[in-house]
Amino acid sequence: MARSSVSAAAAPPPAPRTPGKRGPKTAVRDADLVGAIRVVLAETPFHGEGSRKGRARLAHRGLAVSGTRILRLMRQHRLLAPRRLGPPHGDPAHAGTIIPPQPNGRWGTDATRFSTEQDGWCWFFGAIDPYCDDLVGGPVAKVGDRWAALEPLRQGVRQVFGGVRKEAARGLRIRCDWGPQYIADAWSSEVRWLGMTITPSYVGEPECNGVIERFIRTLKEQCLYLHRFEPLEEARGIIGEFIARYNRAWLIERLGYRPPAQARAEAGRKAA
């Protein structure tokens, strides 16, 4: 007879398995641990503390428990702080687009800073039409306040709509971020006076303000990083020349490798 058969016959029958978690038993039962967690959450002076701080507070009381166990129990008993799931303002699947179906349907505006030798830090504000990626306004200012943020929109209204007047750009949507310039009452009041609708972008959503942000990256790589500006006036001239060159000659793949000015002109001929 094989040794294994003899050993199997001589060994006592295995004890029946008890339902529950396998492995060694812990010193504290799950029910007792949940009660201790509830006490910690009730006594803490703060709101929304999660499993990590709950574990730390239990450790301060002499109860050392695994963090994964704390997280599991708090999740099972709905003791975790509620949080916002997903973007509330749009589809997170990148199913939408920021590109409007025609020119002057939406403009994007944003700003960046650059340094000069004589005037220190200065600001560039831009406004772009995502349909054809042409910059409709791009002023440079020493102070980056709400009035400087209005100037690229004023330049665009003069260029596209013939002048700054009430309801001149009625129906145009303006995409901006949440910078202090773009939430100021003076900025929003004049934008609405021009007939525009403000559509702010939200973090983590696909339809943000990527077109003007991509232009600012191009501006830095092709202009700002390549010059050492002395006074602000020198920077204003060099940046203005780059914007004109960009609109006239920068090739964009989405437009069939055409420059923005050509795409806008062809769109105007089709509309006529």
The pLDDT value given to residue 109 = 96
Band of pLDDT at residue 18, cut at 50, 70 and 90? low
Band of pLDDT at residue 42, cut at 50, 70 and 90? very high
Q: pLDDT digit string (tens) for 92-107?
A: 555 667 888 889 999 9
How does strand 140-141 pair with strand 120-129? Answer: antiparallel
Sign of CA dihedral 34, 37, 43, 49: negative
The pLDDT value given to residue 204 = 60
Residue % of the chain over a pLDDT of 90: 69
The pLDDT value given to residue 222 = 95
Residue % of the chain over a pLDDT of 70: 88
DSSP class of 181 = G
- Considering the entire predicted model, what is its pTM? 0.68
Alpha carbon 91 to chain centroid, angstroms: 14
The pLDDT value given to residue 140 = 96
Give dist(CA 238, CA 234) in Å, integer.
Answer: 6
DSSP annotation string for 168-222: TTTT-EEEE---GGGGSHHHHHHHHHTT-EEEE--TT-SSSSHHHHHHHHHHHHH
The average confidence (pLDDT) of the chain is 88
Give dist(CA 76, CA 46) in Å, integer.
Answer: 22
Lowest mean pLDDT of 32-46, 191-205, 215-229, name the range: 191-205
Tokens linked to 149: 């943020």
Across the chain, which distance is largest between two alpha carbons, in Å? Answer: 106
Q: pLDDT digit string (tens) for 218-253?
A: 999 999 999 999 999 999 999 999 999 999 999 999
Lowest mean pLDDT of 74-83, 132-141, 250-259, name the range: 74-83
The pLDDT value given to residue 81 = 83
Q: Compute the chain's Rg from CA coordinates.
A: 31
Q: pLDDT digit string (tens) for 114-150?
A: 999 999 999 999 999 999 999 999 999 999 999 999 9
- Judge whether 224 and 241 are in contact, CB under 8 Å: no
The pLDDT value given to residue 84 = 64
Regarding predicted confidence, which is higher, 217 or 202? Answer: 217
Band of pLDDT at residue 56, cut at 50, 70 and 90? very high
- Judge whether 240 and 137 are in contact, CB under 8 Å: no
The pLDDT value given to residue 206 = 60
Give dist(CA 182, CA 109) in Å, integer.
Answer: 9
